């Protein structure tokens, strides 16, 4: 038996190398012929007995939240969980319910100290075990509510940009355990997830928010779905990923494409932070003024019934980030074209040099014009559109260029 096992081990190892398994690759991508290079500075297997705080930000430049505070010293720790060396990210109740700047909880996050460059084309993936809450005191859906494990990318605010440009962009690779309610789509359960987009554009009045549930944004930014096989994310390891292409964003769970692909009209234009975090949800927070607000868990009956489930932890087996090979960034692949007149009050002409796909978007990402095979001899009639700022996107030979257009 010993000889046979050794032989099988050698054969398996040979197959392992021959099939390229020695190089860690994304589980699933939109084009199986694409090749990828792992970005070590953004990736971590969390196999060490310590968190590498040279790679992850312990205190600096963490997201600004209103309903809890970050404390990575206490709430991000290496551990073993369900057979994996991992990072535990924990949500805790403040000692004696003493508020800190009006908040009653503290949590952790792992945010890369570096930023993905503007125009990044690649793939991000994390293997996560959800944070279990199951209160015997609470009733119905409240028994499982309270926290949200999240894997997301977000930019800083670039308020110096011109009007109509993206000041802030956010890609939610996945948000779990939210038990969200939507007037159009109904009630979510533990088996549902979201991979949404958030956007802030520069406007005459400052920042103009486009949240995924707003009527003018949900068609392009809301992405809700049931997890494959309707699994419970608090009861096992699962892999969540997003493929970022110059034109679209694709989302995957356990190597299965989920929800729908969303147009990448703005979301790669700013440098992006990579982050995994554990946040609060109802009943420990309320939502108003465009953000989650703190709730006192000792005076709120629903929150008090779930308080015994805190502290609770999510677990992170790895974060991996790949850059796509043999491709340039969204900005680098730009190729010159001529668009005139700009501003226009009706007809638009685009000299693309060669046949191309042309798409025009409004400021909220809605397609208002598309032509798969546009040539320079054609005119585009935009006289039916409202005056304002639009984005013209030109694609050919896997190259893409975006330019702002003003309609008078």
289 or 259, higher pLDDT: 259
318 and 372 in a single domain? The answer is no
Question: What's the mean pLDDT in 372-381?
Answer: 82
pLDDT digits (tens, 9 = 90+) for 209-258: 999 999 999 999 999 999 999 999 999 999 999 999 988 999 999 999 99
Cis omega (within 30 of 0) for bond into 283: yes
What pLDDT digit, counting tens, does each position of 40-70 carry? 999 999 999 999 999 999 999 999 999 999 9
177 & 320 share domain: yes
Q: 25 lies in a domain? A: no
Using the 3D structure, point to which of 265, 290, 324 is the last residue of a domain: 324
Residue 246 domain flag: yes
Query: Is 217 found in the same domain as 159?
Result: yes
Query: Mean of the per-residue pLDDT values for the chain?
Result: 89
Identify whether residues 252 and 399 lie together within a single domain. Answer: no
**Statement: residue 198 has pLDDT above 60:** yes
Are 91 and 143 members of one domain? yes
Whichever domain contains 396, its CATH number is 2.60.40.3080
Whether 1 is covered by a domain: the verdict is no
pLDDT tens-digit series, residues 285-312: 999 888 899 999 999 999 999 999 999 9
Model confidence at 137: pLDDT above 80: yes
pLDDT band per the 50, 70, 90 thresholds, residue 26: very high
Is pLDDT of 337 > 80? no
- % residues pLDDT > 70 (the chain): 90
Q: Which residues contact 133 (CB under 8 A, 6 or more apart)?
A: 143, 144, 145, 146, 147, 177, 234, 306, 309, 312
Q: Are residues 237 and 382 in the same domain?
A: no
For residue 287, the domain's CATH number is 2.60.120.200
* Count: domains in the chain: 2
Does 3 map to a domain? no
Same domain, yes or no: 249 and 149: yes
User: Which residues pair with residue 77 across a beta bridge?
Assistant: 88
Residues 89 and 230 in one domain: yes
Residue 333: the pLDDT is 40
226 and 140 both lie in a single domain = yes
Range of the domain at 345: 338-407
Residues 320, 374, single domain; the answer is no
Q: Within this chain, do residues 95 and 120 fall inside the same structural domain, yes or no? A: yes
Together in a domain, 112 and 195: yes
Domain boundary among 324, 350, 380: 324
Identify the CA nearest to 164 among candidates 407, 394, 375, 354. 407
* Spatial CB neighbours of 263, under 8 Å, sequence gap ≥ 6: 220, 247, 248, 249, 361, 365, 367
Q: What is the pLDDT of residue 377?
A: 66
Average pLDDT, integer, range 73-88: 98
State the pTM of this model.
0.82
Give the domain-ending residue among 298, 324, 350: 324
């Amino acid at each position: 038996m010993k000889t046979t096992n050794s032989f099988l081990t050698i054969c398996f190892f040979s197959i392992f190398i021959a099939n390229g398994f020695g190089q860690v690759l994304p589980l699933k991508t939109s084009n199986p012929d694409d090749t990828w290079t792992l970005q070590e500075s953004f990736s971590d297997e969390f196999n060490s007995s310590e968190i590498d705080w040279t790679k992850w930000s312990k205190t600096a430049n963490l997201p600004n939240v209103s309903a809890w505070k970050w404390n990575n010293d206490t709430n991000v720790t290496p551990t073993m969980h369900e057979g994996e060396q991992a990072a535990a990210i924990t949500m805790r109740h403040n000692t004696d319910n003493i508020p800190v700047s009006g908040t009653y909880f503290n949590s952790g996050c792992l945010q890369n100290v570096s930023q993905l460059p503007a125009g990044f084309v690649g793939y991000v993936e994390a293997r996560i075990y959800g944070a279990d809450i199951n209160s015997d005191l609470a009733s119905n859906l409240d028994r499982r509510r309270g926290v949200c494990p999240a894997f997301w990318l977000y930019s800083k605010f670039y308020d110096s940009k011109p009007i109509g440009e993206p000041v802030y962009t956010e890609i939610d690779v996945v948000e779990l355990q939210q038990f969200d309610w939507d007037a159009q789509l109904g009630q979510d359960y533990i088996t549902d997830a979201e991979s949404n987009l958030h956007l802030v554009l520069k406007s005459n009045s400052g920042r103009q928010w486009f949240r995924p549930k707003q009527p003018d944004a949900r068609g392009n930014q809301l992405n809700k779905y049931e997890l494959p096989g309707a699994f419970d994310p608090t009861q096992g390891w699962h892999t969540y990923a997003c493929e970022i292409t110059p034109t679209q964003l694709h989302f995957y769970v356990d190597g299965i494409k989920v929800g729908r692909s969303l147009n990448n009209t703005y979301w790669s234009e700013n440098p992006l932070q990579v982050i995994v975090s554990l946040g609060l949800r109802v009943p420990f927070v309320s939502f108003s003024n465009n953000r989650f607000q703190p709730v006192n868990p000792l005076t709120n009956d629903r929150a008090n019934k779930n308080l015994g489930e805190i502290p609770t932890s999510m677990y992170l087996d790895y974060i991996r980030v790949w850059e796509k090979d043999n491709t340039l960034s969204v900005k680098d692949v730009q190729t010159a074209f001529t668009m005139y007149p700009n501003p226009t009050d009706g007809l638009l002409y685009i000299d693309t040099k060669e046949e191309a796909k042309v798409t025009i978007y409004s400021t909220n990402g809605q397609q208002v014009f598309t032509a798969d095979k546009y040539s320079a001899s054609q005119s585009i009639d935009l006289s039916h559109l409202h005056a304002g700022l639009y984005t013209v996107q030109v694609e050919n030979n896997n190259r893409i260029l975006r330019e702002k257009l003003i309609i008078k």
